Structure 1
Amino acid sequence: MYKSKVEFTVPFFKKITVLLVIFLLAGSAYSQNMGSISGTILQKNNQQSLVGVNINVTGTNLSTVTDSIGRFRILNIPVKTYNLSISTVGFKTVTLYNIVVNSGNEKVFTIELEQEYSVLDEVIINSNKRSVRAATLETPLSVQKLTAEEIRSNPGGSFDISKVIQTLPGVGGGQGGGTFRNDIIIRGGAPNENVFYLDGIEIPVINHFQTQGGSGGPQGILNVFFIEDVKLSSSAFDAKYDNVLSSVFQFKQKVGNANKFQGNIRASILESAITLEGPLSKNKKTTFLLSARKSYFQLLVKAIDAPFLPDFSDFQTKITHKINDKMTFNFIGIGAIDNFKFLTPKEATPEKIYQANSNASIQQWNYTIGASLRRSVTDGFWNLALSRTRFNNNLQKFEDNQNPTPETQTLDFVSNETETKLRFDINKSKNSWKIAYGASAQLAEYDNNTFAVLQKEVRDSNNTIVQNQVNQNFTSPLKPFARLGSFVQVGKRAFDNRLGISGGVRTDMNTFTTTGMNGLKTLSPRISLSYVLADKWTVNASSGIYYKLPVYTILGYANNNDELVNKEAKYTRSTHYTTGFEFLPNNGLRFTVEGFFKQYSNVAISFRDGISLANLGTDFTALGNEAVNTNGKGQSYGLEFFAQKKLTDKFFGILSYTYYRSLYSGANGRLIASSWDNKHLLSVTWGYKFEHNWELGLKFRYQGGAPFTPFDENASRLNFLSQGRGTLDYTRLNSQRLGGFNSSDVRIDKKFNFKKLTIDLFLDVTNWYVAKNPVIPEYTWERTADNSTFKTTDGFAIKADGSNAIPTRVKNDDPQVIPNLGVIVEF
């Protein structure tokens, strides 16, 4: 995709900065008002309401206790940033950090308290009460947690959760550093090895313009104003999660405000959005959340004279109904509509023409709807969830995308993925034991109509064929098939709670692949251990085997006779070994050091190119739409350091560093550096709360140079006219490296609180110090001075075989500075 030049964006940045100053001066005379906090306190083990829990706004005399149904509300709180302390006898104290109280919206929380099992050892009590901890009995390490406020205020994040998580340890952004796409690379794994859950409902699509068969795209879909917190687990996965190899993302949505109707409107130079919430019944048992967002990149596209226009819309909703004290019903919905089309720029340049003809136009839409029922039972609770997901993807490409004709079409790809899922699990806790078990069933439906010119017939000047035509042209005959799974997880705390041990096993099956119904082939045991060495110090370790079914594009691929060819594909297997230490010096400070090793087998390898598909998935095509074998191997290993300072006064911050290696084998069986083998990942994020509702945030990221594959000069000459890009030489896969990526982002917020209204003006600047972004130098041909055609060695028109073309490279590494000025109005 085309990247903006700094000379286009800096003058624009100056203009909006002047507007920001005017807005701030205009609002400086207004006085602050009061805000409120409300919520519900639940017992984590059985999800029942807790009565008489103390809630205290730290640093003030404001406090309350929960009522007979576990609800609380604190009114008349001076607008400011606070921490919230929740405590009661027999349960661990919880502190919520960085609670920004405004006059516009009431802050609403659902808080779970964990039972204190033992009071025999004061050391254990102190360590377990540290609220900054993100670990659980099942996942005692390789887990991080971000609150909604940390996501909203993240510099350069632009309220995009997919971008914000790149500040966490082990999370890379792909070859380009994650500046333009949200490719989530966890500890050197492929971008399609992650799973995402929204309130317990799996959501396969979380990005606009998402790569089918992958998970990345340029912009996230989730509305941050729905989110209460996000938890990332990069190992020691709970057995209830299937199809995961690298990470599990758990997005916890808040519950709509039961006390009043409220909302916010967000507008910036790139998009606008509205979020609404409130009660749906007089008895406050039913609440709703609803949002819609629309992009408008026309202003930015005009400023940089881009050859394309992306356009997207999305929606999100949640309805919660408390049937009684023991049973709660939730409904969620999320979806998006995306359209990417080409434009004719006012000033044609080689870079713009290359970008226009090397990519495909994209039309996508997707949705996930789901309903869940949770009921408390003796010593626990059960969950029942039913959901449906659909993803439609339409890709079109022509030799000249700005002047398309049927004769010059090189790609026509139309595909649908549909999943209908039913999940049920039971969770029990008694004394120091914890057990969970359950099962899942889903109906998978996939269709695919593909026409693709892989290489065009080419003749030389003597009319001799020097390259035969190779096309894909099929309609997938894949019929709907079932996917089944079951699991059990058992844990126990012992030795006065010093030792925590949890073990689990799951199996997954499907009715399509040849060995898919043999549950023993996907039997995946896992175990994790945690031991408190002393007050503030804990040592953790885990090991597990995890399986993932190949993506639908692989399973549904057919040859030109419409015959399925990948029925023999096996589940990809990844074995994890992880150990580390956690140090908690106080309630708001956390340090972790971890070492990890991941070993892969049954990885998909392209029959056509002989490379591991784990190296692919960060472009705007479809990953896996080809014949494969699943004999590939891989490994990833490294060391992580993480430090997190929660807001306890005015400062908060995150520091993470990861050194790792990522290696995969191709058809030759030799392990070589993968496309994600950046080796070094460094991220520093900090924020400071000034007086009078001013906030400043800074973020710095460094990512080591990514490997890349050089071009095959002869094949590129023959195919450039039809493909619009060079042909990679996979015999030299990832034999070269880019330079390291670095960038810094800054964010400034100023809030104005009126009576029942808050206005938040923000300026978010990505890459404020104008660093160049290392990119792969793309193959192209030299053009004439007016860019109307190609320059040739003999002065004649370009030949079909490219023999008189003059090859060159398009680097397109101009600094990309993106200022985003916006306003949020809470009411």
Structure 2
Amino acid sequence: MKLFFTLTLTLFIFSGLYAQNGIVRGRVYNAQTNASIEGAKVQLIEQAKGAITTVDGTFELSGLKPGVYSFKAVSIGYKELFINEITVTNARAVDLDFAMEELISNQKEVVVKASPFVRKSESPNSLKTLNATEIERLPGANRDVSRVIAALPGVASRATFRNDIIIRGGSPGENKFYLDGIEVPNINHFATQGSSGGPVGLLNVNFIREVDFYSGAFPANRANGLSSVLAFKQKDGNKDGLITNFSLGSSDAGFTFDGPLGKKADFIFSARKSYLQFLFMALKLPILPSYNDSQFKVNYKVNEKNKVTIIGLGALDNFSLNTDVNKSLTDSNDIEYNNFIINNLPIQKQWNYTMGVNWIHFSKHSYQNIVASRNMLNNSAYRYKDLIETPANLLQDYRSFEAENKFRFEHTYTKNGWKVNAGFAYEYARYFSSTYNKITIQGSPVTIDFKSNLFLSKMAAFGQVSKALFNDKLNASLGLRTDFSNYSKSMMNPLDQLSPSLALSYRITDQIALNASVARYHQLPSYTILGYRNPQGTLINQQNEVKYIQADHFVIGSEFLTKMNSRFTLEGFYKKYNRYPFSIKDSLCLANVGSDFGVIGNEEVKSISQGRSYGMEFLFQQKLFKGYYAVLAYTFVNSEFQDKNGKYVPTAWDSKHIISLTGGKRFKNGWELGMRWLFSGGSPYTPYDVETSTMIQNWNINGQGILDYSLLNTQRESSFHQLNVRVDKKWYLEKFTLNFYLDIQNAYGYKAKLAPIMLVETDSNGTPIVDPANPGHYKAKFIENSNGLVQPTLGIIVEFANKKKSSVSK
């Protein structure tokens, strides 16, 4: 402790004595052809300082004081391009490339003003872009990308510890993720198979350069999702020398290396190990999760016409039970809750990886992408009655893996305001499942026992045409996509899965725009659904002619840009769902599930459910301006699906009102303060069927209450709100950068009331008590279920550098 305070005091005293050695350099080039742009001006917005690019399009700015800056590139014949909030340090040079879009012929001799907010012709609305600085600083997110997304409009937050991404009333399984153009099935640890959520983020924030978040108007080449597409772009490795980054947080420790690989290549690599299980043990929690992950990227610039990117991402997760949790506990409610968790959650092991390569070839007016990748998920779980591991006590034994091999080709052509993107994709997948599970169906005990092997081919073709009209006043984009599979005859016809889209944006003035989009999307049901077999070994869902899920999106909105790096947006949306899987066992639509551990969809279904989600969003976003930044997001959403009687009822994602207010201030000498206040309406839930649950044979198998789906989502949890606070202090020294931060989630400790937990009365030995008034049944009891833990995180990030000196004099 004495050493810590001595180091901190030394850093405070000497942190201001170092020179201004920050360097920003990079290249300005044509986004369509990769040709270097000579004579472009790169300007530092906060200072009257800039640089002119050389014949090879390169530039360098040196002698910069460490801090956060924004930049813009200007060149005759090209659209202005902003890059916002780039962190500059003494320890490493910042590589900043500007990919500029060429103007149409009648605008060649002018400079067209651009906005600091990203806009794309194919996605004029429902697109939000976050940079690395915005991701790292969000209070309460603790450097977790999934939690950062929750601060944007249209995204719901729930009073749980999970990272489920719930977009505009859709389920967590309706999202797609891309990393440098390569699809990644999941971005969370402890993934829910058949969905996309999990409690801990998998992606390394240090790798992320920016993320494009589409809640509608998806590009045709990024479809096969129903609610959102998240496209992550990673940083390149340092070209000067090896950079080492070490981070220590509340739940894990990790390191990152990045640097050059010869003259034409660079890399980044990270590894992380959690110690969350020790924290949970100290907090007397009944579960002991642990995780490890690794991530890398290699960037190889063959020449000006060819670039190759290779990525890798992997995770190893273990979920065990703290069977000694009740030792030294005296609170009977805590003991009962812990016993409930221990007796009902399985022990789980899971690992997954994604590896892929993206080759880009540039031509005169076009470029081509060739993308190949492989990803795999291995999942296993088992559970024994009373934790006694004998064959007679086995309740669940599940083993499964999913493996996908993917190929995608894209050709993008741009000239005179036209942009055409077209391509095709092919996937070969294998799914295996070995399932043993004792459950109850409609009040009767049933044993599910089957093995399944499934080999599947999936194909897609897509095209999109965009055009700027009327002197760039109107932008129009028309897309078409089809997905089909050899799973069944009902999926093999490409005409049955046609996905057309139309997006329009009309710029009334330089500051005001009206936007609209309409589109249809299709998504293949999860492998757990496709590979499920009945007791006779039949792929029953294939026999039931399960179909691609369909969603129609209608969005209209407006945008107002100010002259102070801020904007206001207002959007209304309507989503219509069709052919959603309907559970035969539980008589409910699977759109209502996916927010818990385990497996979703491993059962018989039919593609008969319909649903709808509609509402509006408001956003005020202030980019960093004179040291301040802010985001105010409000969402109203009404999410409904038909129940077994065809009546529309609220889904589990129907939060109604969601408010997120984030703001912060950057002070001198490396200090920064940020706060986020969040409010969300309560989520609907289904009450228990007490009579069926307490039947002795049912309780002995399930160990928990059985939900009464005739009362689907008729109850609602309480609304919740919380305040998150983050304080950062950074020291920018000559050879390294040091960042201490304190991140507090739920600072004032608000306790949200969740759905109650049903138990049965037990005697002093823990044996269930039979209800004398209802023979054949145990005696039921309920305990409160709430979440309101104050979660402080004290973290440290250290970055060491081996930086070459600048080649340009100051």
- TM value normalised by structure 2: 0.93
Partner of 2:789: 816
Secondary structure (helix, strand or coil) at the match of 1:400 reads helix
Aligned-residue offset at 1:467: 6.4
Deviations 1:428-467 (A, max 9, x none): 11101111100001101100000000139xxxxxxxxx96
Deviations 1:149-174 (A, max 9, x none): 1111111111110111000110113x
Deviates further, 712-721 or 193-202: 712-721
Secondary structure (helix, strand or coil) at the match of 1:28 reads helix
Distance 1:787 1:103, change over 3 A: farther
Deviations 1:630-685 (A, max 9, x none): 01100000010011100121011111001010011133222111110111111111
Give, as a single letter, the amino acid of the residue that structure 2 aligns with 1:536.
Q
Partner of 2:243: 262
1:155 matched to 2:139? The reply is yes
Root-mean-square deviation (CA), in Å? Answer: 2.2
For 2:785 and 2:400, the matched residues in 1 are separated by 32
Partner of 1:710: 687
Deviations 1:573-622 (A, max 9, x none): 10111100010112611111000101010010001111000000111011
Deviations 1:265-291 (A, max 9, x none): 00123110111111100x2x1000100
Following superposition of structure 1 onto structure 2, how do residues 375-390 of structure 1 map, counting pairs within 5 Å?
A: 375-390=361-376
Q: 1:486 aligns with which of 454, 461, 468?
A: 461
Distance 1:513 1:110, change over 3 A: farther
1:329 matched to 2:302? The reply is no
Partner of 2:539: 564
Secondary structure (helix, strand or coil) at the match of 2:270 reads strand
Deviates further, 416-425 or 558-567: 558-567
How many residue pairs align between the two structures? 786
For 2:260 and 2:722, the matched residues in 1 are separated by 43
Aligned-residue offset at 1:791: 5.5
Give, as a single letter, the amino acid of the residue that structure 1 aligns with 2:190.
F
Partner of 1:550: 525
Give, as a single letter, the amino acid of the residue that structure 1 aligns with 2:44.
V
Deviates further, 684-693 or 66-75: 66-75
For 2:27 and 2:285, the matched residues in 1 are separated by 49
For 1:450 and 1:711, the matched residues in 2 are separated by 26
Q: 1:749 aligns with which of 728, 733, 741?
A: 728
Give, as a single letter, the amino acid of the residue that structure 2 aligns with 1:749.
D
Partner of 2:332: none
Partner of 1:94: 81
Q: 2:601 aligns with which of 624, 642, 647?
A: 624
Distance 1:72 1:811, change over 3 A: farther
Distance 1:347 1:802, change over 3 A: farther
For 1:120 and 1:424, the matched residues in 2 are separated by 32
Distance 1:254 1:110, change over 3 A: farther
Q: 2:385 aligns with which of 399, 409, 424?
A: 399
Distance 1:789 1:664, change over 3 A: same
For 2:108 and 2:328, the matched residues in 1 are separated by 73
For 1:619 and 1:61, the matched residues in 2 are separated by 53
Deviations 1:336-369 (A, max 9, x none): 0000001121245111111212222211000000
For 2:501 and 2:32, the matched residues in 1 are separated by 22
Partner of 1:3: none
Aligned-residue offset at 1:802: 6.2
Distance 1:602 1:762, change over 3 A: same
Q: 2:627 aligns with which of 625, 644, 650?
A: 650
Partner of 1:410: 395
For 1:608 and 1:578, the matched residues in 2 are separated by 35
Q: 1:697 aligns with which of 631, 653, 674?
A: 674
Deviations 1:180-228 (A, max 9, x none): 1011111001111110000000000211001001000001101111110
For 1:266 and 1:189, the matched residues in 2 are separated by 35
Report if aligned partners of 1:131, 1:587 keep a CA contact under 8 Å in 2: no
Report if aligned partners of 1:109, 1:228 keep a CA contact under 8 Å in 2: no
Aligned-residue offset at 1:524: 1.1
Partner of 1:780: 759
Partner of 1:107: 94
Partner of 2:804: none
1:740 matched to 2:726? The reply is no
Secondary structure (helix, strand or coil) at the match of 1:725 reads coil
Report if aligned partners of 1:47, 1:380 keep a CA contact under 8 Å in 2: no
Distance 1:407 1:104, change over 3 A: farther
Partner of 2:194: 213
Report if aligned partners of 2:281, 2:288 keep a CA contact under 8 Å in 1: no
Secondary structure (helix, strand or coil) at the match of 2:308 reads strand
Give, as a single letter, the amino acid of the residue that structure 2 aligns with 1:256.
G
Give, as a single letter, the amino acid of the residue that structure 2 aligns with 1:520.
L
Give, as a single letter, the amino acid of the residue that structure 2 aligns with 1:310.
P
1:183 matched to 2:164? The reply is yes
For 1:434 and 1:234, the matched residues in 2 are separated by 22
For 2:111 and 2:126, the matched residues in 1 are separated by 22
Q: 2:439 aligns with which of 448, 451, 454?
A: 454
Aligned-residue offset at 1:299: 3.8
Deviations 1:307-326 (A, max 9, x none): 22100000110001111101
For 1:560 and 1:188, the matched residues in 2 are separated by 35
- TM value normalised by structure 1: 0.92
For 1:743 and 1:468, the matched residues in 2 are separated by 42
For 2:493 and 2:4, the matched residues in 1 are separated by 62
Q: Which has the higher contact order (CA 8 A, sep 6+)?
A: 1
Identity score, percent:
37
For 1:741 and 1:105, the matched residues in 2 are separated by 43
For 2:381 and 2:122, the matched residues in 1 are separated by 42
Report if aligned partners of 1:524, 1:546 keep a CA contact under 8 Å in 2: yes
Give, as a single letter, the amino acid of the residue that structure 2 aligns with 1:518.
N
Give, as a single letter, the amino acid of the residue that structure 2 aligns with 1:379.
H
Give, as a single letter, the amino acid of the residue that structure 2 aligns with 1:420.
N
Report if aligned partners of 2:371, 2:409 keep a CA contact under 8 Å in 1: yes
For 2:10 and 2:790, the matched residues in 1 are separated by 27
Partner of 2:611: 634
For 1:51 and 1:257, the matched residues in 2 are separated by 24
Give, as a single letter, the amino acid of the residue that structure 2 aligns with 1:28.
F
Give, as a single letter, the amino acid of the residue that structure 2 aligns with 1:755.
E
Following superposition of structure 1 onto structure 2, how do residues 523-542 of structure 1 map, counting pairs within 5 Å?
A: 523-542=498-517
For 1:277 and 1:146, the matched residues in 2 are separated by 22
Report if aligned partners of 2:429, 2:456 keep a CA contact under 8 Å in 1: yes
Report if aligned partners of 2:78, 2:111 keep a CA contact under 8 Å in 1: no
1:613 matched to 2:594? The reply is no
Q: 2:175 aligns with which of 171, 190, 194?
A: 194
